[in-house]
Structure 1
Amino acid sequence: MRASPVLLALLLAACTDPAEPPAEPVARAGESIPFQIDGRLAFVRGADTLKTIAIEVADTDSTRARGLMQRSEIPDDTGMLFVFPAAEPQAFYMANTPRSLDIQFYAADSTLLNVAENTTPYSLDNVLSEGPAQFVVEVPAGASRRIGLVPGDRITWTLD
């Protein structure tokens, strides 16, 4: 069966979005995207700060879609803060992510809903929030347990 020129044009247009630039930075095959420090994030319980880490912020569609993909190195005491426009059920996956992560889901008031610990690198399985989450933090696997996070703990952050 032969496709008409109009159908081909529609298919090509559907595959590209000129309004959305490619996610930056881009890594070539075999290269790792460097970690960028945008600010600091504190894990808080009551009046106590449990731990403070350096964060890279993902607050646009393209940076949230990229996340920590293609990062073979994630420095200790760092993580990525995902900021969404509104609190909604969130689903993450580990495609193109070579390191196991802990994925922490936070409500609109910055309280911890749940943690998915030790996610499987390169997995396409959904990792889900247990309720509407507006903020998500990804840290190297095992960090959540070392910090001692429990539901109800909070995050605060400052940007550089």
Structure 2
Amino acid sequence: MRCVIAALLLSLCAGCATGSNAWVELAGQRYGVEVADDDAERARGLMFRDELAHDRGMLFIHDREEPQAYWMKNTRIPLDILYFDNQRRLVSQQRDVPPCALGDGCPPYPSDAPARYVLELNAGEAARLKLALGAELKFGRGIPHS
């Protein structure tokens, strides 16, 4: 019985980093985030979703800081795509990026500088927060701080 309980607890904790308790803070606003930290999760992103709650987002964690480019393939909701460097400082923004149903014909939205972290929020959030380059992204519980 103990083995069954231990196995259950381990399986529940396996998704702790990507669980609903993960959050980031940007310009004094806290967002619950899903964490995409492997190739499969980063590739799927927010595809095929019809909505994103106003206080939610997706945080993409890359293995290293380098130029990034995101696209909106199969993404149904407009987004702000925010790029952060190793120090979690905002280095580039793509605001009000529209949905795209063109499959592989969807255009890329590149960063203007190397980035390691990418935060996707509902379109309009960057304007609402009056985000400027250099804004700091703070990590909360459930997100690796490497």
Question: Shorter-chain TM-score: what band?
Answer: 0.7 to 0.9
Q: 1:125 to 1:38 in 2, by over 3 A?
A: farther
Letter in 2 for 1:152: G
Instruction: State yes or no: 1:69 paired with 2:42.
Output: no
Instruction: State yes or no: 1:109 paired with 2:118.
Output: no
Superposed counterparts of 1:1-160, under 5 Å: 37-44=20-27, 50-122=28-100, 124-160=106-142
Letter in 2 for 1:52: R
Could you give the per-residue CA deviations for residues 99-121 of structure 1, whole angstroms, max 9, x where no partner exists?
Answer: 00000000111000111011120
* C-alpha distance in 2 between matches for 1:69 and 1:52: 23
Q: How high is the sequence identity, in percent, across the aligned residues?
A: 33
The 8 Å contact of residues 105 and 137 in structure 1, kept in 2 or not, is answered as yes
Number of residue pairs aligned between Structure 1 and Structure 2: 120
Letter in 1 for 2:67: P
Deviation at 1:37, TM superposition (A): 2.3
Could you give the per-residue CA deviations for residues 12-61 of structure 1, whole angstroms, max 9, x where no partner exists?
Answer: xxxxxxxxxxxxxxxxxxxxxxxx624110114xxxxx211111100011
Letter in 2 for 1:74: L
* C-alpha distance in 2 between matches for 1:108 and 1:134: 6
The 8 Å contact of residues 114 and 129 in structure 1, kept in 2 or not, is answered as yes
CA-based RMSD of the aligned residues comes to 1.3
Letter in 1 for 2:131: L
Letter in 1 for 2:22: G
The 8 Å contact of residues 38 and 57 in structure 1, kept in 2 or not, is answered as no
Deviation at 1:159, TM superposition (A): 3.3
Q: 1:38 to 1:69 in 2, by over 3 A?
A: farther
The 8 Å contact of residues 91 and 128 in structure 1, kept in 2 or not, is answered as yes
Task: Specify the structure having the higher radius of gyration (Cα).
Answer: 1
